[in-house]
């Protein structure tokens, strides 16, 4: 059963809202990736920070203050009208909320604990609950007055892709009539220092699938969908998940779990690999991920498929990446892409010898079909978690 994605709000390093993000995405505008200091001692790092002012916490919810929740609110405000319309139509108990995150309010908590260690007292306003993983879902549910299923998932970089799969399952099983689903993550010193300790982070802009790649950039952002059974022009056609559990921080070298996720997504969507018009790669620019993903994509798409990693434009938004990159597929299928463009792949063009050559999208490339398009998005994570989603055009009319 397809689930229709009838509203989208998003914010990331590319901008605020569908129009701004789409314009920058299809132009390959990486100006949001900026070199900053202060995240890791004695290093300057390129990060995908969200620029501009973020909304304040709504009255009565001031205790929910965190940058993570501000990013989430910025995305939610863009689609507040259809969200509240769905709640009024179906009832607060029939609208669910499933989010993915990996940071929640950890940055604020880390600062507060640092002050405690220095001063012997926590700062005024410190709320332990804000560092819990469920905090973003609890905040958004309180703001909207929801009483249906509400939870967060945290499976590292597949978190919000899994949130879309979970939302689809709740809809399919009749537990809910509408789902608000997506992901959010904010820049966080703890996260950046962790990746620096793994020697997996690059100072310069990331260079996915290049022989010269040096590691990831971290970004922040939020993407929220309204998912219903009501026919609209864009649907989640299928999805697949797997867990290869090869290593806590390294993928299975041959991409066996990644292949399984892609094959499951194709199977649930009732599609053949040749029917996919574009693949948004996980493409982190790390040595092991890009090698594994090259092998996996070549195995699933032996005839090739246009593909790109959008992480040089946004940074790796971790728990938000799955939903954000699904949102890029949504934009590619929408009225915000009148030229039928594909998101370009930014890299130095130096392929790694010994790895299968992928059909990486150059600037100004367009999709081969103008109608009936089907797009896939990959997300892979620590611990061997793998998710692939397929979005596509339908014949439905937007609500």
Q: Where are the domains of the chain?
A: 3-393
pLDDT at residue 128, as a whole number: 87
pTM of the model: 0.97
pLDDT at residue 392, as a whole number: 98
CATH of 3-393, one of 2.60.260.20, 1.10.1200.10, 3.40.47.10, 3.30.565.10: 3.40.47.10
pLDDT at residue 395, as a whole number: 67
Cα separations (Å) of 2 from 79, 99, 239? Answer: 21, 20, 10
pLDDT at residue 247, as a whole number: 78
Give the other-Cβ count within 10 Å of 372's Cβ.
11
The whole-angstrom separation of Cα 129 and Cα 163 is: 21
Q: Which three-class secondary structure state does DSSP give residue 295?
A: helix
pLDDT at residue 384, as a whole number: 87
Q: CB-based contacts of 182: which residues, under 8 Å, 6+ apart? A: 75, 99, 100, 160, 163, 164, 222, 223, 224, 225, 320, 323, 327
pLDDT at residue 129, as a whole number: 87
Active site residues per annotation: 157, 282, 316
The HSE-up count of residue 293 (CA atoms within 13 Å, CB side) is: 30
pLDDT at residue 125, as a whole number: 81
Instruction: Find out whether 291 and 355 touch, Cβ atoms under 8 Å.
Output: yes
Low-confidence ranges of the chain (pLDDT < 50): 396-399
Reported as a single tens digit per residue, the pLDDT across 332-386 is 999 999 999 999 999 999 999 999 999 999 999 999 998 999 999 999 998 889 9
Instruction: Find out whether 95 and 146 touch, Cβ atoms under 8 Å.
Output: yes
Q: CB-based contacts of 43: which residues, under 8 Å, 6+ apart? A: 37, 196, 203
pLDDT at residue 219, as a whole number: 98
């Amino acid at each position: 059963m397809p689930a229709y994605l009838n509203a989208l709000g998003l914010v990331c390093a590319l901008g605020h809202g569908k129009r701004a993000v789409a314009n920058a995405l299809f132009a390959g505008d990486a100006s949001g990736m900026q070199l900053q200091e202060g995240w890791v001692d004695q290093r300057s790092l390129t990060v995908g920070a969200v620029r501009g002012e973020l909304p304040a916490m709504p009255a009565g919810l001031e205790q929910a203050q965190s940058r993570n929740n501000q990013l989430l609110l910025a995305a939610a405000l863009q689609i507040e009208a259809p969200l509240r319309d769905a709640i009024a139509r179906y009832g607060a108990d029939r609208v669910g909320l499933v989010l993915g995150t990996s940071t929640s309010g950890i940055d604020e908590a880390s600062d507060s604990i640092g002050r405690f260690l220095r001063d012997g007292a926590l700062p005024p306003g410190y709320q332990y609950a804000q560092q819990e993983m469920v905090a973003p879902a609890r905040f958004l549910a309180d703001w909207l007055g929801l009483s249906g299923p509400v939870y967060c998932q945290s499976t590292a970089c597949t978190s919000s892709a899994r949130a879309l799969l979970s939302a689809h399952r709740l809809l399919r099983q009749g537990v809910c009539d509408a789902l608000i689903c997506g992901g959010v993550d904010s820049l966080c010193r703890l996260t950046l220092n962790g990746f620096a300790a793994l020697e997996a982070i690059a100072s310069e802009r990331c260079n996915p699938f290049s022989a010269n790649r040096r590691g990831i950039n971290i970004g922040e952002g939020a993407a929220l969908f309204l998912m219903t059974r009501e026919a609209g022009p864009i649907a989640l056609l299928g999805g697949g998940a797997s867990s290869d559990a090869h290593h806590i921080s390294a993928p299975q070298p041959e991409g066996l779990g990644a292949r399984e996720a892609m094959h499951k997504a194709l199977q649930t969507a009732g599609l053949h690999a040749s029917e996919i018009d574009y693949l948004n790669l996980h493409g982190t620019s790390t040595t092991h991920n890009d090698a594994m993903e090259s092998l996996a994509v070549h195995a699933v798409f032996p005839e090739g498929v246009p593909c790109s990693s959008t992480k040089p434009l946004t940074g790796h938004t971790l728990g938000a990446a799955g939903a954000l990159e699904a949102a890029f597929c949504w934009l590619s299928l929408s009225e915000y892409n009148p030229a039928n463009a594909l998101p370009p792949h930014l890299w130095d063009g130096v392929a790694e010898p010994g790895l299968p050559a992928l059909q990486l999208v150059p600037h100004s490339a367009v999709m081969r079909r103008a109608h009936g398009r089907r797009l896939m998005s990959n997300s892979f994570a620590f611990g061997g978690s793998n998710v692939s989603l397929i979005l596509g055009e339908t014949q439905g009319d937007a609500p």
